[in-house]
Each structure stands twice: as structure tokens, then as C-alpha cells.
Structure 1
Amino acid sequence: MKSQTRRQNKLSRSITANAVAAVICGYTSFNAIAADQNSLTNEEIETIEVRGIAASNKQDINNKRFSTGVMDSITAEDIGKLPDVTIADTLQRIPGIQIRRSAGEGSTINVRGMPQVTTLLNGEQFLSAGSITTLQPDFTDVPAALLSGIDVLKSPQADTLAGGISGTLDLKTRRPFDLEQGTTFSFTGEATRGSLSEETDPKLVAFAGYNNDDFGIIFTAAYDEGTLANYRNGTILTSSEVKDETTRDFNGDGDLNDSFYSQRFYGVMHRETERERLGLNTTVQYRISDAVTFTGDIFYTNMDDADRKQGMMIDNARGDNWAYSDSFIPRLDNDQGGQIYTVNDATFLARRVSAYSESLTNDRESTNVSMLFEYQGDGPLSGEFRYIHGSAERGHTENVAHGYLTSGAQHGLLRNDGTGATPVNPNGVGPDSVAVDFSRGGEYITLGFEEGFGSDINQYNLVSTYSENNFEEEATLDVARIDGRYEFSTEHLSNVDFGIRASKRDVERETYILVAPFTTGDLSADVMWKDSGASLGDTNGDGENSVAGGDLTIGHTNFFSDLPDGWVHQVSDFGPGGSNQSFYLIDPKVMDDPMAFQNAIYPGNKRLANPSRTYQVKEQTQSAYFKFNFAGELGDMSYTANLGAQYIRTELDMLQNQLGSARPCSLCTASEKTGEKWLNRDYSDFLPSMNFNLNLTEDFILRAGYGKTMTTLDIGKLAGGISVGRTRAGDVLAAELGVSPDLLVAVQGRQNGNPDLEPWRATNYNLSAEWYFNESGLLSLSAFLMDIESFVENGTVMMGLPDIDGVIRREVPVTTEINGEGGEIKGFELTYQQAFDFLPAPFDGLGTSLNFTYAPSDSANVDVYGKSLPIQDNSEKSANAVLWYEKGPLQLRLAANYRSDRLDSLSSAMGEGVMPFWTKSTLYYDLYAGYELAEDTSIYTSVSNLTEEKEDIYAQWSDNVITQNIFERRITLGIRTRF
């Protein structure tokens, strides 16, 4: 692999390219533009095409060096080849970026601790099917092979679309005019195998391009399948409990005033994520005249995925005296004057043991179309017009099945068909105990059952099944913008950029559950939780549905041995540390179609809308910007600078559903819709920005940046429904309100989506020093400060809600999300890159890239001791190290990514604050090796997560690990050719 050069004879094309790059993104140095325009002639012009590790590193350094603000860049090493498996995995190599993983692969990112990051496609907004309501896509949607590079802009600039609090990503696709003249074809084939899933997955990438310098076209297609193992041990559902037990003396001090802290649900879970992904990109460029160029893009993604879980889950089902151990660990004082204890190794009296299966599916599709007209005449004025249309849709389903091994009698779950009360699982058993070891002496959490427990299929009964949190959402995006530049011939003012932009985004979501009719006697109701012990109760009070032993239950037994062929299989693989025993489980694959599965158990299912999570939002924005660009000399030093501002006005129309206290179904999560109304609001932001770059020497640059930023909230946090809690007025309140004592009046509410939330806003400061000691060497130190106006948190507001007769008489407390206190994130980034080409052969092929980020943060939340907690998912420290070797036909690269502990989520109130769940520090290694068989053909292998790193999640105390997410090693073999 090597860098290649080509020559062109067209002056206008290179000038236009420079001008357009500056207009769209402001990435090109104004000094460089001026130098290009002064020195270019109609003679041949040399252009570099990036190929190989060393060449891409040089290009990344060059992009950073000649940028007009603080930024980092990653360039694909060849057609269809970003350095890592996914876009997010590639981005984690950039200082200041931390990623979140889905099934072990990078899915979304934080920049300097904040996930409020705008992602652009070729300089403008685009719509992703995996994140229709937000501005950052789910990067698992987008095949990395479609991209030629990524820029991460960390200091705001007036001509960059506002939306990123901490930064902006610009995903870039290839352009036909960047290819060699004539035709270019490229093909990549891969096979990937997981160390735990033991599945072999294919990937194919095909590229075809043509360029005759006046017309060019590119077509890229990427298709892949993936089955990724993602085991979970420990807490399966994070439901924290403090047992205020008074029947045991935990510490042997003679009193009974101590408590036991635990999670209710423990288990071992075999989990696999299956994905099928297709990406298509077509780009056409046509030189209409010497002054006008047209570029058209179609960017299409389609991904179907299923996240399937199956495993054994135990819980105490509201029982007491659950954990027994000789090693209770004291943690902090409780309200009873004693202490709260935890255990790392305990025996649990499991009230319920469930064979749990779950299927979550997603169908995602998006199309983004862009049309760009660029004008570059002979005069000082240049500009462009761009129109974008995007559409995206997503369907999501959730389907759950609980198969009992225990009888249900242990926690009082009975059924009654009229002949008397019996356990819901009459063939079930009752284990004396289940051993849970959290000490991780063998590194993994283990769950130990009695020998032979669960070996008989006749002991299993499908007691409960349901499908909820399903939704269908769709969105459209339309953008029109005009950008211009006017050149000056003054000593310092180089040019001025200006533009206007208008956009419209419409989002619609319908959330629904599946309900089936349950009927007994004169009672009938639609039911979501289809449980063998479900009872509609004696609602008419005449005892008609009451029999000896309690109310009639409607659900029936569904023994595993009676289920259709292929539904049940035996599983013993629960990942490293899992039980070696075999259990019978419903195959989650048969649950991918919730309607078919639910109808096979309880016929007559139908979709029932859940209005509390159903909404429509129309967002319109109008913006304008100006930016003055300067370049010149200050004594013996050259400089570039820009000063500008962006004004943006946002208008929102939001559908807010009103919900009553009644439900439209029995045993369900849906609310009764009593009305709806459209809410309207608008707000404006003026966002000044400044960037100053001083070349102290030819190789040493100082940068300073200032800017105000804003980003709109997740639309799901703005819309939804308000549920109203009502009660009988009574004599005192009735007299105050002037109503009947029997009137049901509003007393409280719950709002899903707060239309009054303000967008995220911050003021950012950047300062960096960069030393480019050779063409492949960089040493830089960047400091940053983000002053964030407020964080979104749960809170209470007073709102006027209607009484049962529809009249609003007073304000009542409503729980919702609010704008809380703000805070600061400040830190620094240190980067070192170098190719060691000065070493004697064969070591002259070595190179390295190292970076470290320190970004502490604070929020308004505090832990159980009252200590301030950081922003969720932000690691205070992160680092990357890449060692590479490229010599002749051989390429090698070893990469490491480190993140320190990070706040995962917040649980129940305890002590002086809330119980925090933390993810322990992680260190991931990835390996790549390639060999060039011929000039344009290479074979390669890559290994991601080389050491099978896992995620340990602990509650407050680092030795109190409660959950483990276990990811696999994935090995890829591939071949790449181009001609």
C-alpha cells in the first residue's frame, strides 16, 4: 500500500474545490487558499490520493494543520476502508471521543463528555433511521465502507450548522472528481467469526467510479450480516431494593435494626444480536460550465436487527429474608439506626425461578438526497445552493415470555378454574436455594442451581407472556440553503462568508401494546399481561366470578411439552462463567413476530395505542450567518482568524395527549386518552464565534476559539402525554373549589415529554498548541471549557389539569423532566503522532499515534454519601494508543482504547442521594494485519476485542459488582482489490 499521485490540467476545478470547502465547512486554511489562488496556473496540478496507513495518517495531520479551528480528522486508508469495523469504533481513536457499545460494537459517541453532538453528511444535516428523534445517529445503521473520512469539529464556527454542544461530526463520502480519470472499480469480501457466537458472517463491498473531469459518477454498495454474542450475568432487570428486615441479626450485635441492599432480579442470560445491513451511495458530479458544477447524492441505509435473550432468572417476588451469607459487608447507616449491608457471595431463597425469553426487533430504513450547485466565476463572488430531502422510518417490537420452573406457590401466585386454587405451574418445583457468587474469584459472576434442577421439560410452564413498548415512527427532513463568499484584496480581511438556511423536520410516533380478550362469566376485558394467574376480579360485587379460594383466573397452563414443535430448545451456553447445566427455553427466534406468537397462545390479539408515548412534532428552523475571514502577518508571524455569528430561530408544533386515570384494558400499561391539543412555541438563539490561529513558526501553531452553542432536545422529550391522577374531592376540598364532594378532582399528574424544555445551550472555550515537527509528526496540547447552561433532569412542576368533568380549577404537582442546574466540563487533550521513517530498515516502517484526554465533570446529582456525581456516561480519563508498521507489502496495526470508570445510571434514593450504577474501567485491544499480493490486491485479517474485554457494572462501591456485559472476540478474514 502506498500513496499515489495524479495530475490534472483544470485550474477552475481546484479553485472551486477550495472555495466550496471553505464555504461549506470552513476547514481549509485561508492562507492556503490565498496561496493556491496566487500560485495556480494552467499547468499540471498534483493531487494526493490516500492509500495506506502512513498516507492516511499524513492526510489526517494535514487536515488538522490547515483547519481554521480546533478539529481532528480520520481518513479512509483506501476505498471502503476506515481504520476500524464501525464508524464509532473509528471515532474512538480521536482524542476527546468516548463511545457506547451495542453488542460489543460502537453505536453512539460522546465528545468531551457530552452526547449532544450534531452529525452532518457532507456538511449538512441528515436523517438516520436508528435515531429519528435526535441529531446524533445510531452509527450501527451506517456502513463504514460508504465513507471516505470523518472530521470532528471541536470549536464552533458561524457557517457550521448549529447543533453540537461539544462538537460536530461531518461524515464525508467520496466524490467522483477525486478519482483518477477513467474508471475505477473496487471489491471487498470478508468473513467474520465470533469467539462465543461461533457464527461466520459475510460482508461485501462493491465500488464503481468514472471520471472524465467534466462528468463523474460513483456507486458504492455495502452489505453485511452479523451475529454478535452479548451475554449478561448478574442483575437482569435493574430493580434495586433495600430490605428493611427486622427478623435477622446481620452483624451479630444483638439487635434487629439492619437492612440488606440488593437487586431483585438475578440471572445468567444468553444474548445474541443478529443484524442484516445494506448501504447504498450514488454521487454524480457534472461541470455545467467553467463556473458552475452540480453534485447530486443519494445515501440509503437499511438495517433489520433482532436482539434476543434467553436465560434463567431468579427473584424473591416480594418475599423477605432472601439472602443468606456469612460475609455481609457493612456500607452505610440506615433509617432504623442500623446499617445497610451488601454481599458478594450469598445463598438466595428464590421465590421464583423463570426460564426467560425475549425478542426485540427493529426494521430501519432511511434515504437522504442532496442536490448542490456551486458557482465560481472570475469575479470576487462565489457561492452555492443546496437542497436536501431525507426520509426515515423505524418499526420496533418487544416480546417477552416467562416460563416458570417454580410452582408459583412460593410467592402466592395461584390460579382457579372453579375447582379450587392451585399453583400457576402445578408441575413446578421449589429449590431450597440458589447460590450467587459476586466475589468474581473466577472473574465472572456465577449462578449455581441444585444439581439436576431444570432437567425435566415437564416441569416448565409458560406462565406469562406480553408485548409492549412497540412503536412505529417516521420522519421527513427538508433543507434549503444558500451560501456565498465575497473576496477582498485588503491586507488582513481575506473574505466574508454569509448564508441563509431553512429546514423543516416532521416526526411522528405511535406506541402500542398487544392485547387479547380474556372472558369469564359476564366479565370481558382486553389484557396485555397474559398470565396464568390473571383475574379480572369481581367487579360487579355480586360474587358471580368469585369461587372458593378466590376470583376466577382466565389464563391457562401452557406446558413447554405441549408447545408447537421448534418452539422449545435446550440451552447450556450462558457465556463465560455461566452455569454448566442445561435448561429448556423458548427460542427467541419464534418470538420475532409478536402478533403471531401471542395469537398462538391467546388468540384474538390486536394493537392498542399507548397515547402516553404517542406524539407528532413539527420543527421548523430559519437561520442566517456571517463570518469574516482574516489572514496576514503579525511581525514575523502569520495568522488566520475568523469572526462571525449565526442566528437561528426554532418553531415547534407538538401534539400533547391528555390521559385519564382509567385504562382502556385490564392488566396493561396503556392509558385512556381523554383528549389532545397542539402546543406551539418558538425560541431564538444568537451564537457568536471566534477562532484565531497564530503560526509562531512555520511548524508551531497556537489556536484559540470561543463560541456559543445550542442543540435541540430529543423530540421524544418534548412530546407525549399527560396522565391525570384524580380522587374524590371530599367535603373540605369541595367547599374550596365549589364542587360536589363526590366529584373526581385532579390531584397529581405525570408528563411524558415536556414541551417547555429549553434546548441545551453552552459557551465553549478552546486553546491549543500544535507542533508539526515533520510531515508525519504532531505533538499537540488542547485545553477546553464548556459552560453548560442546564442539564435535563427529573423534577416537579405545577400545572393546571382538568377534573373529571373537563374543567381546570387549580394547579397540581406534575412529575416530568425539567431544566435543572448547569455545570462545567473542563479538561485537556494530549496528542502525539509520528512515523519513525528515520530509523534504519526494517524499523523505518514503524509509526505510532497516542492521545490522552482528561475531562472531569459535575452534575446536580449526589451519591449515597452526598458526593457530587459526574455527567452520565462520561469517563474522567480516556486514552488511545496505536502502534503500526507498514513496509513493502506488509501492514500491521495494534490499537488500544481505555476508558476510566463512568456513571452508567441512577437508581433508587438512598442515604444522602441516589444509588449510582457505575461501569468499571475498560481496556479494548484491536489488531490488524494485511499483505499486498499485487499492486491492487491485498488480503488481511483483523481481530476486534482481542482480549474479550467485558463491562463490570457496580452499585456505589467498586467491589459491589452486580452486572456483567460479556462481549466476544471477532476475527475477520478479507480480500480487497481495485482496478
Structure 2
Amino acid sequence: MGQHVRHHQPLRRNLVAASIATILGCVSQLSVAASGDETQLEVIEVRGINASKKQDLNNKRFHDGVMDSITAEDIGKLPDVTIADTLQRIPGVQIRRSAGEGSTINVRGMPQVTTLLNGEQFLSAGAITQVQPDFTDIPAALISGINVLKSPAASTLAGGISGTLDLKTRKPFDLTEGYTFSLNAEGTRGSLSQENDPKIAAFAGYQKDDFGIIVTAAYDSNTLANYRNGTILNSTEVISENSRDFRDINQDGDLNDSFYSQRFYGIMDRETERDRLGLSTTVQYRFSDALLFTGDLFYTDMDDADRKQGVMVDNARGPNWAYSDQFIPRLANDSGGQIYTANNMNLKVRRVSAYSESLTNDRQSTNLSLMLEFAGDGAWSGTARYLHGSAERGHTENVAHGYLTSGAQHGLLKNNGDGPTPVNPNGYGPDPVDVSFSRGGDYIQLGFAPGFGSDINKYNLVSTYSENNFEEEATLDVLRFDGKYDFALQHLQNAEFGVRVGKRDVERETYILVAPFTSGNFSADVMWKDSGASLGDTNGDGKNSVADGDLTIGQPHYFADLPEGWVQQVNGLGPGGDDLQFYLINPKVMDDPFAFQNALYPGNKKLANPERTYQVKEQTQTAYMQFNFAGTIAGLDYNANLGAQYVRTELDMLQNQLGSSRPCSLCTASEKTGEKWLDRSYSDFLPTANFNLNLTDELILRASAGKTMTNLDIGKLAGGISVGRTRAGDVLAAELGVSPDLLVAVQGTQNGNPDLEPWRANNYNLALEWYFSQSGLLSITAFKMDIESFIERGTVMLGLPDIDGVVRREVPVATEVNGEGGKIDGFELTYQQAFDFLPAPFDGLGMALNFTYAPSDSANVDVYGDTLPIQDNSEKSANAVLWYEKDALQLRLAANYRSDRLDSLSSALGKGVVPFWTASTLYYDLYAGYEFAKDSSVYLSVSNLTEEKEDIYAQWSDNVITQNIFERRVTLGVRTRF
């Protein structure tokens, strides 16, 4: 029965894990910045905003290439909530958000950014197949600093097209002698979720003489509002006046115009719950003055549930869809008329759904690093390092589709043996439902007649299913040796060299849930348990139609009869739907797909989906040599490096062969008819050069050039290939020498293309940096990236087997291909300064500003034929941070801006395709802290201060089709160290 429930209870991790996180602590480290000749310049204890800003400038100033750095202001205190949120403050870095939190990043418009942990590859459970992790996996408290390397160097592991991130953790020998403890506890509340979320980060460290150990732990549980308004299923259509209902939509006296419309409209109350645990341990032991051992263990564990519930309306392919007095002409169509859109409409709706969905993830990763460093009195030094990583992820998707309309509006009928009747006989109907739609204000809105949806007896759970589930796991093993030889020469300082062998194995099994059904003379396993679906011609008349009397499979599940707690009345569906009241399946009860599906239709079992199941074994062999130079040219000091890296990649990939038949009825899986292992290899030679010239003691000119590459997302390399076959017929049979009745291959679809080439580019930088004070910087950096190709959908010719298993010819196969390349040319401006020269109390002020201009071109064009940019790249981005730090007080206000960016490409229209754009965004974050006792402080932080949202529009900026609505998050915390 119905309950008046507004919010869900957050996920809770077991008490043991939570207890671990309460007994440990964090401490800051002493950081030393050294010049090219390795003489000590400055020692900074990183405590507070000013200290971290100075350390960032030191790291940047004395790096051999173009680099930006972020240093934690204290133990467990990166400047922002997540690692990605922190990275967005760096010029040229743009982030993508998941439930409002930063999840992944672009550097200068490209997401092909390798992320390293202490200089080496690691596995992230949220992005097992990719080179960039999902940063929501990694608690920010485990990280002490981040370097963003924008110019390639031979000594840096290749993998970033536009840049490489290097996450840093603390080392015991950077601590002061003895014991160090720290504890950070906080609570966060969201403006929309209205949940109180705990977080605790703790650190314990010890070092003395030749031994040191650090243990860091972080635990948090969050409920994040993540509302979605508009096009729920990202589908659009063009409705022609002379093909749908012969209606003159714009009242101009003819029927040659068209209406560009969303296929679905809706408002969704969506929340994401995350339980996150991170543990990090580092041990160091000095065997002698020349030999040092460092061992790192890095563990992450996150469970999350993305739950969605709301109302969805669609036309269900009926006529009389939209009426408006405000149709807007957009472009000419092929019939001599115009294509129109409308921002305010009255809809004649043939289906109103109470839609609920639960997506869950359970993911863990462990990364171990063991390293020996040798540094004797002679010219030789080096390291030997072994890494092992393992990661696994389980993902489920579960959907419940309830009806408020009867189904008679669009002919969806059920027949249990008593004759055809509407699938929801108690629902609204048989006439269409009047719904108003508006996208002219701050939020997309739907309007219904008063009282619509308030009667629980009108609801019936018509359809439910669980698909796109998968279990994946990966292992990583790396062995590398690096050496260095110092020369006693005037310019050539030393040579660095190394070899590396890496092996990564990835395996994914994708499956659906199916239950056994019998209908008439038919029996089958079924995924879509739909009370309006038929298994086939159950009455034997050859017409295969429910309207003609065939039996359907599903049974009515009226909301009023469902188990206690399954249904809740939701009063208000977030911004834009404040006045909407509907009964909805509580998505929390859907977190366990087996339990939910079996309660409705017993006997569910896993059925593999071979087209999205794969195994890939990747082996890489790497060798590099880099020469480092320093000296004087024309009285000016310089340092430079010149080198190259050679990478050989070998791949073994499992390719499934799929038949045209399905192993179940009403499902998304195909029949597996065979499999084969494919192997390939490719090699890359990557030359790099970096040159820095000190024009004065404060002014540095940098130049760099290099070739970069990024291995492909493994998920785009392997999978299944489905074969479409048809009867050969007389002509083709004569050509192939087969029987006319033989089913021959005519086309195919491939998930994963093993012949894809990796991303490759040429990367150039030219920078001028003026360090006008200890905490002051003014710089400009010009960059250029020539990208060889982009990955896009296309067609290749492949030999596919006919029904007898014989390959007789090549046929077109739709798959991912290497399309035409593109370029990104732009510049970055940076200004940073602490105003410590001002009289008190204004001497605590500081400011950091940066702006990036990065226009890009791709081979795609929009409906007018205009060139589209690279996907997800904002042409303009900017950051501003104003801080104040004086005595016990810290204040910071930060702003982040991104201009419009291409979100995705939709259907073909006009001269090209309809682009979906994300409109420009401006996020504000606030922090205030006060040290009430030595080494103890309280703080208040506010993220997304103005509740900024993401508007996604189709081609025209006022044609908003989707809104991702995020909340304001307010955090109150306390931090202490001893």
C-alpha cells in the first residue's frame, strides 16, 4: 500500500570498515623544491592556503616541462570535495560531473588523460577498461598532491594525449621524527536531498632512524540529489504534417511542414547514494645510505546506488501529439516547408508512466607498489619497482514501468484468455491525457489536471526488466627498472633510461535476467515481463496479434496490491515539479534485481549477453632514454631534456560470434554461435623535447614538443559480432555457388573493433612565466594538438560466416572506426598573487585567476553544415579564487566557468546531425575555517553555492531537452593533529 515517503535512507557500510576509519589520522609533509642542479632552494611546511600556493608555484617553476601542481593545504585537505573538483582549478582542465561531484576530467579538451599514482599506472574499479579513473572512487583525503603534466617527457609513462595526471601520496620520511596523528570529521547536508552525511578521515604516522610507516583511512556516506528533467531516454523525432495525423501544425494552409520533438518528456526525482572507503599504507626502510625500500598499498571500496523515480509521458506513436501557438521555424525540410520547434505546448498524451529505476555498483580495487631505490656515491643511481593491481566491479540495472493510462490510447492490450482488454483497465482513458509542457523558465515543467495521479488505484505495474548487468574484473602487473648516470660535462648533466614490462587482463560478463513463461503453445525465457506482450501466435491463426486474440504473458500488479513499502507517494519531484504528486515504486526495493524480479515473476536466472561479453589481455613493453641538459647560453641559464620512448603493445582479444536468433523471447541478448581469439600488435616511437630558458631570475621561457599516444578503452576493442542473414535467392546463389535457400550473411553489427588504432597526437607548447614574487605568477602558455583520428561509429567490410559456417564474402559491418582527426589550438592565461605587501589586515588577501581558450574542429557538422567542435570540449573556461588567511582565520571563494560544450550527436537532420549541447555553467564554492586551538580548527564549506544546473539543448539554445539538477552541499567539520 502507499506510504507518504520523501527521502531514502543512505547506504551503510559494515561497522568494521567504519571503525577502521575512526582510529587513524593525517599529517602534513615537509616539501623541498630543488633546481636543476638539485641544490636546496626552499623548505615549506604545507599548512594553510598561502603555504600550499607557494608550494604549487615552486613545483611549477622548477619542473623541466609545462606543468601545474596542487598541494594539499593540510593532511587530508585538498582544496575541494573531490579530486576532480580540485583539478578544475588548474588552467586547461575541465571536469564532468556525476551527481554533482567531479568524476572525470579533460585536459585541453581531451579526456584521453592518463592518471598515475606515484608515477606509475594503477587500476580504478570505476573505470577498469580506461586509462583515466573515475575520481568518485578515490577519497581525496588519501592524496597529498597532484601534478598535471602538460608537456610530454620520455621519462614519464606514455598514455596522455593532452596531459598526464600524477597523484601523490605521503611518504613516512617526509614526516617529522616520532609519531604524528591527525583526525578530520565532518557532516554534510544537501539542499535537496535533506540528508545528513558523515565523513571521517584519519592518519597515523611514525618515522625514526631508518624506518617509517604511514596509515591513512577515509570513510564517507553521501546521499546526493541528482534530479533530471526533460528527455528521460534521450530520444527525438521529426513529425511530418503529412505523415502523422495530417494536421496543419502552424496553420499556414499546407501540410509540408515538420515538428522536431522530444520522444519522451518527464520529471525525475533522482538521488545517488555512495558509501566510500579508502585505505592507504606506506612503509619505508633505509637499508643503508645508498639503498631505500618503499612499499605502498592503496585500497578503495565504493558501493553506490543511482535511484530514479518520476513521471514520464510520450506519444506512443499516436496522432495529435502537440498543439501550440508558438511554433518556431528553424530550417527548411525536404518537402519545401519548414521544421519547427515549440517551447510551450499542450500535449495529447497516449501514455503516462510512473517510472522507477535502480542502478547499483559494487567496486573494489587494490594497488600494491614495491620499490628499491639505489643512490651511491658514484655516478650511477636507479630504481627497481614491481606493481600489482586488482579491481572488480558488479553493476545491476532494474526497471519498473507503471501505467496511469489504460493502454487503450495506443492499443496496448492484454489477454489472459478472456479476450483482449487494456493492460491497465483501472487507468485513465480511453481518451489521451492533456498535459502542458514548458521549457521557457528556469526549469522544464509538466502540468496535469488537478488531482491527476492522486488515486493509487489507477496504477498498474505493466512492465519490468533487468538488463545491462555486468561483472568485470582486471589485474595489472608491472616490472620496471630505471637508471640514471651523471656526467661531469659542461652541458650534459645526466642521462635517464629504463625498461618496463606491463600486463593487464580484463574480463567482463554481461547478462540479463530472464524468467520462464508459458503462453498457449509457447514456452520461453523472457526478459521484458510485459503484460501487453505475446510470445507468438498462441491462437494459431497466423496473425500473431494480441488484438486478434493471442495470449499475453504478464499479469496485472496493481500498486494498491503490492507488498508493504514497495509504493510511496512522492510529494514534489524536485525543482520544476514541486506541485506534482504521484505514487511510485520505491527504487530502493529494486536494488536487488533478483529479489525484486522473483517477487513478481518467479524463477529468474542469469542469461549471458555475449555481444557485450569479452576478455582482453594487454601486454606492453616500454623502453626510454632521456638526456638532461643544463648550463648557460649567451649568459642565460637554461635546462632542457631530449629523449624518446618506445612502446610496443600486444593484444589478445576474445571475439564472440552471434547468430541472428535469440536465446530468449522479448529480450536484448543474442545467441552465441562461436568464439575466436584475435591477436594484434602495434608499436609507437614517441620523441620528446623540453627547453627552459631563464630570461631573468624571475622570467622563464619554456618550449616543448612531443608525440603522444593513449591506448584505447578496452571496452571498444572486444565484444560480440552479430550476423544478419537472409535467403540467398537465385542470383546470389549462382554467384556464390550455393543453394538459393541457404541463409547467407548480408550485414553485421560489431560491439568492439579489434582493429582500432590508439589515439595519437603531436603536442606543442610555448610558455612565458613571470614569477614576480615568492607567491606571484603571471604566465601565458600557447598550445597546439594535432590529433590523428577520433573514434566514431562507421562501417567496415568483414568476412562473416553463412549459416553453414563458411565465409564466402565480405559484408558491411557497423562498428567503431578510426574517423578523421582534428586539432585543438589555444592558450592559457594565469595570474596568482598573495597581497602580503598590503597593510594589515588586508595583507592576508590573495587571488588566483586563469583563463583557457581552446577552440577545436572535428569532421562533424550540424544541421546548417557548420563545423562542430570536439565532443565535451569547452572553447572557453576560467577559474577565479579569492582567499583570505590571517592568524586563525581562513576564507576562500572559488568560481569555475565552462562555455557551451558538445554533449553528443543525435540523428541526421538538414546538412548534418543534430548536436546536443550542454549550456555554459558557472559554479561557486565557499570555504571558511577558524583555528580555535593550536593544530585544531573548525570549518564550513559550501559547494555549488548557487545550485547551478546543466541545461542540455538540441541545436538551438532555447530548445532545452534535458536538465541535470544538482544541489547545494553544506559541510561542517573539525580537524585536529597531534
- Same fold by TM (over 0.5)? yes
CA-to-aligned-CA distance 1:433-457 (integer Å, 9 cap, x gap): 443443423x111100111111110
**Residue in 2 that maps onto 1:887:** 886
TM-score, normalised by the number of residues in structure 1: 0.95
Q: SS at the partner of 2:857?
A: coil
* Alignment of structure 1 residues 719-738 onto 2, 5 Å: 719-738=718-737
Q: CA deviation at 1:523?
A: 1.1
**Residue in 1 that maps onto 2:972:** 973
**Residue in 2 that maps onto 1:30:** 36
Partner letter of residue 263 of structure 1?
A: Q
Distance 1:552 1:206, change over 3 A: same
The structure 2 residue matched to 1:182, chosen from 155, 158, 178, is: 178
CA-to-aligned-CA distance 1:504-554 (integer Å, 9 cap, x gap): 000000000000011023310011000011111127956799898421111
* Alignment of structure 1 residues 762-911 onto 2, 5 Å: 762-911=761-910
**Residue in 2 that maps onto 1:23:** none
* Alignment of structure 1 residues 58-457 onto 2, 5 Å: 58-246=54-242, 247-430=246-429, 432-441=432-441, 443-457=442-456
Q: SS at the partner of 2:856?
A: coil
Q: SS at the partner of 1:599?
A: helix
Q: CA deviation at 1:253?
A: 2.3
In structure 1, distance between residues paired with 2:135 and 2:168: 14
Q: CA deviation at 1:250?
A: 2.7
Distance 1:548 1:790, change over 3 A: closer
* Alignment of structure 1 residues 491-530 onto 2, 5 Å: 491-530=490-529
Partner letter of residue 187 of structure 1?
A: L
**Residue in 2 that maps onto 1:459:** 458
Q: CA deviation at 1:252?
A: 2.6
Q: Which moved more, 1:233-242 or 1:892-901?
A: 233-242
**Residue in 1 that maps onto 2:598:** 599
**Residue in 2 that maps onto 1:582:** 581
2:743–2:802: 8 Å Cα contact kept in structure 1? Answer: yes
In structure 2, distance between residues paired with 1:362 and 1:305: 5
Q: CA deviation at 1:245?
A: 2.2
1:258–1:334: 8 Å Cα contact kept in structure 2? Answer: yes
Distance 1:544 1:498, change over 3 A: closer
Q: SS at the partner of 2:596?
A: helix
Partner letter of residue 340 of structure 1?
A: I
Q: CA RMSD in A?
A: 1.5
Q: CA deviation at 1:432?
A: 4.7
In structure 1, distance between residues paired with 2:262 and 2:35: 56
**Residue in 1 that maps onto 2:931:** 932
CA-to-aligned-CA distance 1:291-336 (integer Å, 9 cap, x gap): 0000000000000000000000000011122111011111111121
**Residue in 2 that maps onto 1:667:** 666
Q: Which moved more, 1:394-403 or 1:208-217?
A: 208-217
CA-to-aligned-CA distance 1:155-198 (integer Å, 9 cap, x gap): 00001000000000000000001111111000000000000000
**Residue in 1 that maps onto 2:10:** none
Q: CA deviation at 1:962?
A: 1.2
Q: CA deviation at 1:782?
A: 0.2
Any unmatched runs of 5+ in structure 1? 8-13, 19-27, 40-45
CA-to-aligned-CA distance 1:813-862 (integer Å, 9 cap, x gap): 00111001111101000000000000010000000000000001111111
1:897–1:923: 8 Å Cα contact kept in structure 2? Answer: yes
Q: SS at the partner of 1:844?
A: helix
Partner letter of residue 715 of structure 1?
A: I
Q: SS at the partner of 1:805?
A: coil
In structure 2, distance between residues paired with 1:263 and 1:293: 63
Distance 1:565 1:964, change over 3 A: same
2:50–2:834: 8 Å Cα contact kept in structure 1? Answer: yes
Q: Which moved more, 1:450-459 or 1:465-474?
A: 450-459
In structure 1, distance between residues paired with 2:538 and 2:676: 33
**Residue in 1 that maps onto 2:755:** 756
Partner letter of residue 651 of structure 2?
A: L
1:297–1:369: 8 Å Cα contact kept in structure 2? Answer: yes
Q: SS at the partner of 1:734?
A: helix
Distance 1:842 1:544, change over 3 A: closer
In structure 2, distance between residues paired with 1:584 and 1:547: 29
1:793–1:820: 8 Å Cα contact kept in structure 2? Answer: yes
1:438–1:962: 8 Å Cα contact kept in structure 2? Answer: no
Q: SS at the partner of 1:304?
A: strand
Q: CA deviation at 1:762?
A: 0.4
**Residue in 2 that maps onto 1:22:** none
1:418–1:548: 8 Å Cα contact kept in structure 2? Answer: no
In structure 1, distance between residues paired with 2:535 and 2:439: 44
In structure 1, distance between residues paired with 2:692 and 2:303: 46
Q: SS at the partner of 1:288?
A: strand
Distance 1:439 1:468, change over 3 A: closer
2:856–2:870: 8 Å Cα contact kept in structure 1? Answer: yes
Q: Which moved more, 1:817-826 or 1:546-555?
A: 546-555
Distance 1:5 1:799, change over 3 A: closer
Partner letter of residue 724 of structure 1?
A: V
In structure 1, distance between residues paired with 2:763 and 2:202: 42
TM-score, normalised by the number of residues in structure 2: 0.96
Q: Which moved more, 1:496-505 or 1:252-261?
A: 252-261
**Residue in 2 that maps onto 1:622:** 621
Distance 1:546 1:225, change over 3 A: closer
Q: CA deviation at 1:582?
A: 1.3
1:5–1:47: 8 Å Cα contact kept in structure 2? Answer: no
**Identical columns (%):** 79
CA-to-aligned-CA distance 1:788-822 (integer Å, 9 cap, x gap): 01011111111110000000111110011100111
In structure 2, distance between residues paired with 1:803 and 1:673: 15
2:789–2:820: 8 Å Cα contact kept in structure 1? Answer: yes
In structure 2, distance between residues paired with 1:460 and 1:435: 18
1:483–1:499: 8 Å Cα contact kept in structure 2? Answer: yes
**Count of residues in Structure 1 that have an aligned counterpart in Structure 2:** 948
In structure 1, distance between residues paired with 2:547 and 2:436: 39
Q: SS at the partner of 1:379?
A: coil
2:44–2:55: 8 Å Cα contact kept in structure 1? Answer: no
In structure 2, distance between residues paired with 1:581 and 1:688: 61
2:413–2:547: 8 Å Cα contact kept in structure 1? Answer: no
**Residue in 1 that maps onto 2:716:** 717
Partner letter of residue 775 of structure 1?
A: Q
**Residue in 2 that maps onto 1:963:** 962
Q: SS at the partner of 1:551?
A: coil
In structure 1, distance between residues paired with 2:793 and 2:142: 39
Distance 1:731 1:486, change over 3 A: same
In structure 1, distance between residues paired with 2:546 and 2:833: 82
Q: SS at the partner of 1:30?
A: coil
In structure 2, distance between residues paired with 1:823 and 1:326: 42
Partner letter of residue 87 of structure 2?
A: L
Q: CA deviation at 1:576?
A: 1.3
CA-to-aligned-CA distance 1:227-248 (integer Å, 9 cap, x gap): 0001111111111100112212
Q: SS at the partner of 1:124?
A: coil
